[in-house]
Structure 1
């Protein structure tokens, strides 16, 4: 919370005309970077280290199915992460509102329904990343792989659509733009587009029309991907052999 407050208040000083907008933009960036780190660390402690330190010898001795252990830990991490998201989102909204009191912008930041939609999409992003971390915790041999793998997945899933847009609008970025675009485009068939879940523009500019036109499909596809990852994690745990 201290990091978020320092970044938001500091960023507001760099813009004389849009301090609230800049503070909101930087604050949302901090939330989207900070909370994945928190959920990965929690998943490491609740699941990955369960197997590394052989706590499962005690946990699995109780008459409960394996999938209840996995889904229970997933729900615990997801609820804690989403709760922290709501707390940080409320704090950011308060900071932006206070900053806006000192200077009346021509285009004020939308802290109502637009902001709730933005936070909901961030929550969906975090839910999917929690499912990724859960799966990696089951199949990975070391806890560090959970950190590296989840962050790697996040960076690729959040950036490949932006790379495609850049290559489409400016083919001179690389020498073989068509071939490069075709290669990167294959990721859209294998990974969810987490970059499209960043809909902060509707809050920054108070324009709901900036929401992606295919947002229902975007939400459905990411939820489906999350359920698929959890099903795969349950399947892997059911077949996991403990030495």
Structure 2
């Protein structure tokens, strides 16, 4: 299984993904620097916020494209027949593809995250700030939260690819799932706040509360305030969010494995 994961990782690196990532990362770094320079107050914090927000969006697209390239297109082109002819189970093949996507996303995150850190450290604004961003261990924890977020989205996209006969369905629904899961927590918090319209709370709260029972709240993995404002980490809440994310990933992969074993490719 690990050999299959390595082959999948090599296939992902040989594709256009990393070249696109390089170009987009350069554009992201430029946008982050411009945003910081145009900010009159806290330029480093603004630049870091723009960079991390762009990083979460770009890597989300990259993960969905890798799932499509490594799994959905194999099913569409019937090349999966040659792979399954080897003495491996379908579950092993599916898990190897997930490991390949997880490894590729970790490498891309480290590359882009280190590039953003270096740009801010070397070329960031020298304007004094009352609370400069924390670019040490809190920054590494923010990157870890982004990676866990990507693992959940990748597992959901793999589940869709194991069920779907349309290659672009995991890409489109995976993107919609990520947006919904990332926005679920902030939306519920806004509806419960004093600024919320009572009519909106009456209409949407029951729907969102129902969605909260099966849709993961990926906003719990958004730990950017730790690096942006130097806040103290709530390790209990972070550990619980990590456990929930990993449990959700495991559940999705088990469901994908069951569906993939029962699927008829003829």
For the superposition of Structure 1 and Structure 2, which TM-score range results when normalised by the shorter chain? over 0.9
Match of 2:241 in 1: 218
* Distance of 2:40 and 2:200 partners within structure 1: 42
Describe the superposition over 1:39-88 as per-residue Cα deviations: whole angstroms up to 9, x where unpaired: 11111111001111111221111121111111111111110111100111
* Distance of 2:125 and 2:152 partners within structure 1: 36
Q: Which stretch shifts more, 169-178 or 88-97? A: 169-178
Match of 1:124 in 2: 148
Work out which of the residue numbers 22, 25, 28 in structure 1 matches 2:52: 28
* Distance of 2:49 and 2:182 partners within structure 1: 17
Work out which of the residue numbers 82, 88, 93 in structure 2 matches 1:58: 82
Match of 2:116 in 1: 92
Q: Which stretch shifts more, 94-103 or 228-237? A: 94-103
Residue pairs, 1:41-190, within 5 angstroms: 41-100=65-124, 102-170=126-194, 172-173=196-197, 175-190=199-214
8 A contact 2:60–2:150 mirrored in 1? yes
Match of 2:264 in 1: 241
| 3-state SS in 2 of match to 1:107 | coil
8 A contact 1:8–1:26 mirrored in 2? yes
Displacement, 1:212? Answer: 7.4
8 A contact 2:43–2:125 mirrored in 1? no
Q: TM-score, normalised by structure 2?
A: 0.86
Displacement, 1:29? Answer: 0.4
8 A contact 1:8–1:95 mirrored in 2? no
8 A contact 2:65–2:171 mirrored in 1? yes
Which contiguous aligned blocks of 4+ residues in structure 1 show a shift greater than 6 angstroms? none
Q: TM-score, normalised by structure 1?
A: 0.94
Report the aligned-residue RMSD. 1.6
Describe the superposition over 1:169-219 as per-residue Cα deviations: whole angstroms up to 9, x where unpaired: 13643625234212211121111110121110111111125x475222211
8 A contact 1:43–1:77 mirrored in 2? yes
Displacement, 1:104? Answer: 2.4
Displacement, 1:155? Answer: 0.8
8 A contact 1:19–1:99 mirrored in 2? no
8 A contact 1:157–1:194 mirrored in 2? yes
User: How many aligned positions are there?
Assistant: 242
Unaligned runs of 5+ in 2: 1-24
